[in-house]
Structure 1
Amino acid sequence: MLSILFLCVLSMCARNKVPAGMFRTECQDQHFWLAISSAFLGQMFRFETEGRSGVYPVSDKRAAQCGYTMLLDSRGDLVLRASYLACDVDTEDHAGVQLMVWFVNKETSGKETSHPFLLTCPLQQWNPREIVCEENYMEVSVKKPIPPVGQKGQEWMTPPPKRSEQGGVKEWRMVFRVLPDAQKDVTSLPMKEQTLSLMEAEQLGYHINSTGTRIVLRCGYSSPLSYLLQEKGVDLETVSVTIFYRHQWTLLRVDASVACSLHKGTMDGTHILWSIPQVFPPLVQGSIRDRGARMGVGGSLLSDCVIQQRGYKMEVRAGVMEVRIPFGADGGYVKSHVMDGQYAQSYSIDLYYVQQWEDAQWTLTRHCSFRPLWTSPRPRTLGLFNLTVPEEREFSLTLGVFPPDVSLANITILTHTVTPAVTEELGLRVFQVPFTNGTHSYLLQVPFSHPLVFQKYLGKMYRRYMLEVNFTLLVSPHGQVFTHPASVACDLQDVVLPKVEGHCTDKAVRLTLHRGNMDTQWAILFGNHRLEQQLVELGRYSLEVEDGYFVVEVPLYSLGMAYEDLSLQGLLTNVAVSMLDVETGTVEQTFVQHCTFQVRELMVCLPNNWMVVVVDTARVVPPLDPWDTTLLDPMCGPKETDHTRALFSFSLDSCGTIKSVEDDGLVYVNEIRYMPQYLPIPQYFFHPFYYYSQPVGCRYPLNGTRTLAIYQSHLLPRSRTHRSHKGQHPIVRVPCEVSCGGDGGFTRRIEGREVNAVAMRCLWMKPFSDIN
């Protein structure tokens, strides 16, 4: 029966008003229970009890002898537990039991404040024998046997003593069964008896009291006349004593022996294991009948339903009752620690265990054990739960469950560290999620679009969002710090790749690039050149940046342009725009824009010793038929003509090509010439002989890779007149303009041949103009 009977003497309360919520009182199983909140405790504090003989401080010695237990629970609250048979308890017939308690609080200033409590609880029915194994004392109370009226017995003393105020208690005798000297454990040695008076027993720490119906013996652990006994592998501390007393001059005796389990509990996997024998040999006479066992927490028994819900277990193994309590189960207290930078927890629980039996002497014995069980700190793996719903496009994860002594100090994402108070200002959300048992966890929510979320392209339009966060937490009250890293990821098929659109102008390729939604993932390649400021400058690109897209104009003959074919219809080129995944180095997709540019004159030197040349004869006066032009070998004519232009395609090892070595290069020279079939009659000082000559040439390195080069000539205006010099046509070497070329990364086709578009050195040959 739990009832809060928080009574206060009005005259006392008038002096010291009790703050609300600082105190709690309960009536537990045969015990008063008073708790003082840790928030109310001063620098020093104490309890005092008031009885008929005065007010006494509750010291450790008096607590053990008088039936009081003081402790600080895992939350830091101060608890006083007092037996209904404790000193200063006033028992009123049919009214219950009362105890006057003073809580004295000493402030840091040195001022003491007293708070009085009159604890009143209903008196429950006592069993014939009640044994209590408290944290700091052992207690046994038995029903006082009274012989039938008229029964005669042995006289207590001759002559009889005078009646004392306590009904002759001071004249009682106690016979202890003890071990021989220097022996503390029971072995095969016989025990001896030692008879003491009440005063002698009290001097040794044994408190004996008598009420109208009961006899009480109480003593602390490790008392002088106790001994150890091992039963079924469990250590018991035992006091074996028989009390002799008189009733109307009749000698009576009562067995007041007490035995308590000293088992402190051990860790068995993930459970705390506490053991107690089913039978206590020093307390049993004759056959025994088990009347069951129950368990509780903090002095209150629990129902079977609650026990099952909390995961507690009670099992009998080889005559021993084993109580198993899961680490961290409700009813106990979890305390946090930091060990070597790692989070750890210890667990404690105030176990209350009651077992009952019948034997030949007692119709019912009730044996109660109060046992605080605790574990040493153990490293704990923190639970990280990913609650992310991809459709919501937001990371949602929880860390913990933590006891109240843990708080979140800050979180670190990449290199950014923020406290919970300012996370929302940065687009993050951190919540403390409380639970009904007083624990809590932390919930972190981060949108996928947040700059601190890392994104990676997986292919096939899938993107991986990744969040790496480090939680920093504090353990109260000493401010110990520990961290916990967390990494979560989510894959979504939501990638919009960059899109390229292109068209051709007269002298350039114009490309519009739509950015897509993963700018940082892609590098844009023009040919095999990465689009950067250096490429824009070297290639003379025109760049226009707009919101969501940008426009690039690639001029003819610039870096990044490739060449497929050359004919009189034009120079067939392309610009390939590729999306390079910067993470993997692979090309995701490529867009190619083809364009054909009209050219009047052009020369191409192929790496396989092949040359393609377009020459324009329209500027020759009078006009000539390009079909009649040839190379040095008259059998090598044009492949194609259009009345004003001629296209020659030939091997440098043919058509009369002249090869020579100059410096570090190999030079090939040929000539496009026109010789009419019939020459006009020359006129002195007016008509020279009719003649057209256009030297062409290629230069290759002696050592190294031969690559394609395209040259756009800038010749002086041609004349059909040329002055012969000793029958030779004088030529001069003129630097050529290298207008385009690549770096070896792209394969092109010209005249059906694959070439590597890399710039090379070149040699242009052309005639002198007529000085006249």
Structure 2
Amino acid sequence: MADRKVICVLLLCLLPNCATDTMPIGMFRTECQDRHFWLSVKSIFLGQSFRFDVQDVSGVHTLSGQAAAECGYNMGLDSWGNLVLRASYLACYVANEKDSAFQLLVLLVNRDIVGEETSYPLQLTCPLHHPWKPREIVCEENYMEVSAMKQVPPANQMGMEWMPTPPVMSEEGFREWRVVFHVPSNQQGDVATPSMREQTLPVEIAHLLGYRIGTTDNRVLLRCSYGSRLSYKLQEKDIEVEAVSATILFKHHWTLLRADVSLACTINKASMDGNNILLRFPKVLAPLILPPLRNERLRLGVEGVVLSDCMIRQRGYDIQEQDGAVEIRIPFGAEGGSIKSQVVEGQYSQSFFLDLFYIRLWQDSQWALTEYRSFRPLSILYLPKTPILINETNVSEGLFSVILGSFPRDVFLSNITVASKSMAWGEAEQMGVHLAQVPFPNGSHAYLLQTHFSHPLVSQKYLGQGYRRYTLALTFTLSVSPQSDLYHYPATLEADVQDVVLPRVKGSCSGKGVRLQLHYGTMDSQWEVYLGGHRLDWELVELGGYALETRSDYFSMVVPLYGLGMAYEGLSLQGLVVTVSMTFEDRETSRKELSFTQRCVFAVKELLVCLPDNTVLVMVDSSSVSPPVEPELTSLLDPTCVPIETEGTRSLYSFSLDTCGTVATLEEDHIVYTNKVQFWPNAPFGMKTLNSPNPQFSIPVGCIHPVNGTRTLTIYQPRALQAWPYIRAFHSHHQHPGTQANPFIQGQKRNGLPAGG
């Protein structure tokens, strides 16, 4: 690198056009790049407006537009907004010492918002590190330049020839020079080999047409901008080329010479070939090469530095010859270039910039050696680049782990949204979501996010067969500088794990009802629990009078004998057969995952059951009646309706509401069905009639059903069996929507009869 450094001297003199200021440290960077001065100014140092001026013995000259191109100066902003100047050693206003040392006084002029200008002068000095080649061609971004040796050429160098018959010159010096341009006859130049015609011009006229023609101690020079008046375009291997075919006639030591100063530069743009940037050059540029072509060499460079073959391979650059064209492929984002990020219509995009140049050297029949140097800054703009999401979730550790990237320096993570909760970096760490930036050797970076399956923001779903799916829904919000544009990248991570322990239920019969013990399992929030068809919630617990006892891994619940959720399978003198069923349904799919049923038999003395099909079951106990009553001698209002079963002091009846003397009356919107269980002492069975004297034992029974509506099972248990006139209901198994919670209220309005459903 030592041989590329430039001597930079700050001139603290006062210049006539503006004030000078001291040089800020780190704002300027200068180098000598083989045949060019190179100067860069940091973007943060640039004013409201700015320009470059140069100064020589004739004064200060402003560099801009066409004049800058014709004089050999190229200026522009790089991908990071830095101002870059590249000037040819043979440019205008450069002090040239025998073509071996060069000096240029450059002034950066900053203008502030109020229009005041401040100048920062720099004296650039560069030595010539490599000898000049017989012919050197430069294809800059905004101009073309060729220089050739002035010395009498050897016999094998036909590009510099003696004139066979020197013409008569009117005067000595530079003004005698002539330029012969070769232009297409049709003035189009779009065919591969156009027919040409000659146009000879004095140097002064060529200058007026934008051609800079000059001479140094050892070289003759021609330079012009692209699109000059006498240039033409042609196609070489489907590659567009702009060319200037010219010959300079000049005098050297009283000898008239002719120098070929033709130029040809490719003007095609780079394109994308998969993930590579493709740049094509013709192997043979017809205006410059006279076959046969020999000893051809090709070298690549980036930002003025020539790369070795090893570096080219390491960076992934690829150079191949294909069908007469040299194809250079450079991976998008490869080392040596710079990436800038943008958000275009919500899509993350990247632009890639690479300050590429390539050097070709060859021998042909015309020149002993030609060096061809082409500066081709590559720019691929707004290429959509969806970030890559790498899922490194570790199921065995129960850890979600994901990497999103990679991003250049102008992108940083603004916040993260997990399950609709937006969090800044620090807040995410506090909530158990780990974030980290992962750097890469090429200067890019990615973002790592980790959190455990058990995190509250991770959703869970049961899949069956003991599997559950952990889902982490997140959104990365990335900010792109300097505009602070936001890009949102949503992602959903899933992990299916067979780790579900289903709930487990134990049941037992107690004196107060049915006892259920529910062990939670590992997904208690996944299930909707139903008890006898009723969803288990606090309202049901309170309404049913369930007794609860809670532990860390289970809870127990006692369902009262006549509580909500209990089903009744049968009634006999041996007892009331009841079942309590508990089912578990998936909250999302409503699919039944497991069920449990506990059956119990409870001994009862008295009971009244109203069935939906108009059947009534009545169990009566006469143990408290004095004198004692024989149960087998009791009957309903119809003496033929006798017990279906008796034992001790108990009797069991089963009859239909439209039989056994049952009386139906309409009260409001209900039908009241009434009957009696009674006993006539000392009366033969056949003598019992409706007109017999009052019985010794009489208990009213009955049911109440709605006139319109569904009839349901209803069970009542007397608290105390009264001889007459009524029997009090204990509890109802079913209650219609809209009725009062206490079933006794309905019963007390119906002459003491139990209220049915």
2:440 corresponds to 1:448: no
Work out whether residues 694 and 767 of structure 1, in 8 Å CA contact, stay in contact via their aligned partners in 2.
no
What amino acid maps onto 2:546 in structure 1?
A: Y
**Structure 1 residues 403-482: aligned runs within 5 Å:** 403-420=408-425, 422-482=427-487
Measure the CA separation in 1 of the matches of 2:748 and 2:642. 21
**Equivalent pair of 2:679/2:695 in contact (CA under 8 Å):** no
The one-letter code sitting in structure 2 at the alignment partner of 1:671 is V
> Secondary structure, in 3 states, of the residue corresponding to 1:8?
strand
Aligned partner of 1:722 in structure 2 is none
SS in 1 for 2:618: strand
2:731 alignment partner AA: S
CA distance, structure 2, for counterparts of residue 180 and residue 651 of structure 1: 123
What CA distance in whole angstroms lies between the structure 1 residues aligned with 2:317 and 2:698? 110
CA distance in 2, matches of 1:153, 1:354: 31
Alignment pair present for 1:250 and 2:242:
no
**Aligned-partner residue type, residue 91 of structure 2:** A
Distance 1:246 1:384 in 2: 69
Which has the higher mean CA deviation after the structures are superposed, 349-358 or 509-518? 509-518
- Quote the offset at 1:128 in angstroms: 2.2
Instruction: Flag the 1:507–1:201 CA change in 2: closer, same or farther, 3 A.
Output: same
Partner of residue 215, structure 2: 210
Once the two structures are TM-superposed, the CA of residue 709 in structure 1 deviates from its matched residue by 2.4
One-letter code of the match for 1:194?
Q
1:489 corresponds in structure 2 to: 494
Secondary structure of the structure 2 residue equivalent to 1:125: coil
Q: Partners in 2 of 1:530 and 1:189 — Cα distance?
A: 92
User: Which among 513, 521, 545 is matched to residue 540 of structure 1?
Assistant: 545
Give, in whole Å, the separation in 1 of the partners of 2:45 and 2:602.
92
Paired residue for 2:71? 66
Whole-Å separation in 2 of the counterparts to 1:350 and 1:546: 72
Whether the aligned pair in 1 keeps the contact of 2:94 and 2:102 (CA below 8 Å) is yes
Q: Does 1:46 align with 2:90?
A: no
Give, in angstroms, the shift of residue 61 of structure 1: 3.7
Question: In 2, Cα distance between the equivalents of 1:153 and 1:267?
Answer: 49
Deviations 1:25-74 (A, max 9, x none): 34434333332222232223333445565554433344323322212111
Asked if 1:741 corresponds to 2:733, the answer is: yes
Does 1:135 pair with 2:138? no
| Equivalent in the alignment of 2:690 | none
Q: Which residue of 2 aligns with 1:165?
A: none
Task: Name which of 657, 662, 668 aligns with 2:660.
Answer: 657
Q: Which amino acid aligns with 2:732?
A: C
What are the superposed Cα offsets for residues 583-609 of structure 1, whole Å, 9 maximum, x if unpaired?
111232234444443322112344456
Amino acid in the other structure paired with 1:130: E
Aligned equivalents of 1:474, 1:561: Cα separation in 2: 61
User: What CA distance in whole angstroms lies between the structure 2 residues aligned with 1:293 and 1:645?
Assistant: 117
In the TM superposition, what is the alpha-carbon distance from 1:414 to its structure 2 partner? Answer: 4.3
Aligned-partner residue type, residue 273 of structure 1: L
The Cα of 1:129 is off from its aligned counterpart by 1.6
Aligned partner of 1:36 among 32, 41, 47: 41
Matched residue SS, 1:424: helix
Report the Cα distance in structure 2 between the residues aligned to 1:767 and 1:251, rounded to whole angstroms. Answer: 142
Which residue matches 2:203?
Answer: 198
* CA distance in structure 2 between the aligned counterparts of 1:405 and 1:691, rounded to whole angstroms: 103
- For the residues of structure 1 that align with 2:13 and 2:412, how far apart are their CA atoms? 38
Question: Could you list the per-position Cα deviations for residues 450-483 of structure 1 after superposition, in whole angstroms to 9, with x for gaps in the alignment?
Answer: 4333222223333322222333334333444443
2:279 corresponds to which letter in structure 1? Answer: W
Q: What's the CA shift for 1:326?
A: 3.6
Show structure 2 runs of 5+ residues with no match.
15-19, 156-160, 686-692, 737-742
Name which of 571, 574, 579 aligns with 1:566: 571
- String of CA shifts for 1:665-701, please: whole Å, max 9, x gaps: 484846364756999xxxxxxxx99944445445666
CA distance in 2, matches of 1:624, 1:767: 24
CA distance in 1, matches of 2:752, 2:35: 127
Distance verdict in 2 for CA 1:699–1:28, change over 3 Å? same
How many Å apart are 1:559 and its aligned residue?
A: 0.6
State the alpha-carbon separation in 2 of the partners of residues 136 and 238 from structure 1.
14
Corresponding residue of 2:387: 382
The match for 2:328 is 323
Aligned equivalents of 2:749, 2:242: Cα separation in 1? 115
- What is the distance in 1 between the residues matched to 2:331 and 2:437? 25
Deviates more, 1:65-74 or 1:564-573: 564-573
Question: Cα distance 1:187–1:552, how it changes in 2: closer, same or farther (>3 A)?
Answer: closer
Q: TM-score, normalised by structure 2?
A: 0.83
What SS does the corresponding residue of 1:264 show, helix, strand or coil?
coil
Counterpart of 1:144, as a letter, is: K
CA contact (8 A) 2:514 2:580 kept: yes
Q: What's 1:86 paired with? A: 91
SS at 1:263's partner residue?
coil
The residue matched to 2:264 in structure 1 has which SS? strand
Structure 2 counterpart SS, 1:280: coil
- CA distance in structure 2 between the aligned counterparts of 1:690 and 1:405, rounded to whole angstroms: 103
When residues 473 and 595 of structure 1 are mapped into structure 2, their CA distance, relative to the original with a 3 A threshold, is same
Amino acid of the structure 2 residue aligned with 1:254: A
Residue number in structure 1 paired with 2:348: 343
Q: 1:134 to 1:269 in 2, by over 3 A?
A: same
Q: How does 1:271-670 map to 2 (within 5 A)?
A: 271-289=276-294, 291-420=296-425, 422-543=427-548, 550-607=555-612, 610-626=615-631, 636-637=642-643, 639-641=645-647, 643-646=648-651, 648=652, 650=654, 652=656, 657-659=660-662, 661-663=664-666, 665=671, 667=673, 669=675
Aligned-residue offset at 1:380: 3.3
Answer whether contact 1:657 1:668 (CA < 8 A) is retained.
no
Q: Is the 8 Å Cα contact of residues 712 and 734 (structure 2) preserved in structure 1?
A: no
Are 1:676 and 1:690, in contact at CA under 8 Å, matched by a contact in 2?
Answer: no
Q: Alpha-carbon deviations, 1:238-271, whole Å to 9, x = none?
A: 1111122223212122111111112123344544
Distance 1:375 1:473 in 2: 22
Deviation at 1:498, TM superposition (A): 4.1
Deviation at 1:237, TM superposition (A): 1.5
- Which residue does 2:126 correspond to in 1? 120
Amino acid at match of 1:710: I
**SS of equivalent to 2:731:** strand
What SS is found at the alignment partner of 1:175?
strand
Q: Deviations over 1:347-366 (max 9, x none)?
A: 33333233333211112222
Partner of 1:8: 8
State the identity as a percent. Answer: 46
Q: Deviations over 1:338-397 (max 9, x none)?
A: 333333333333332333332111122222221233334243333223232234434333
Query: Structure 2 counterpart of 1:142, which letter?
Result: A
Change (3 A) 1:450 1:53: same
3-state SS of 2:226 partner: coil
> Secondary structure of 1:538's partner?
helix
TM-score, length of structure 1 as denominator length: 0.81
- Report the CA distance between 1:629 and its aligned residue: 5.2
Aligned-partner SS, 1:282: coil
Q: Which runs of 5+ in 1 are unaligned?
A: 163-167, 680-687, 719-730, 745-757
CA distance in 1, matches of 2:351, 2:633: 104
SS class of match (2:204): helix
Contact preservation (8 Å) 2:37, 2:124:
no
Q: Give the whole-Å Cα distance in 2 for the aligned partners of 1:767 and 1:58.
A: 114
Q: Please name the residue that 2:17 is paired with.
A: none
| SS, match of residue 562 in structure 2 | coil
What amino acid is the match of 2:288? L
Q: Distance in 2 between matches of 1:123 and 1:390?
A: 62
Judged with a 3 Å threshold, the aligned counterparts in structure 2 of structure 1 residues 665 and 441 are, in CA distance, closer, same or farther, namely same
Match of 1:739, SS? coil
Alignment check: 8 A CA contact 2:77 2:83 kept: yes
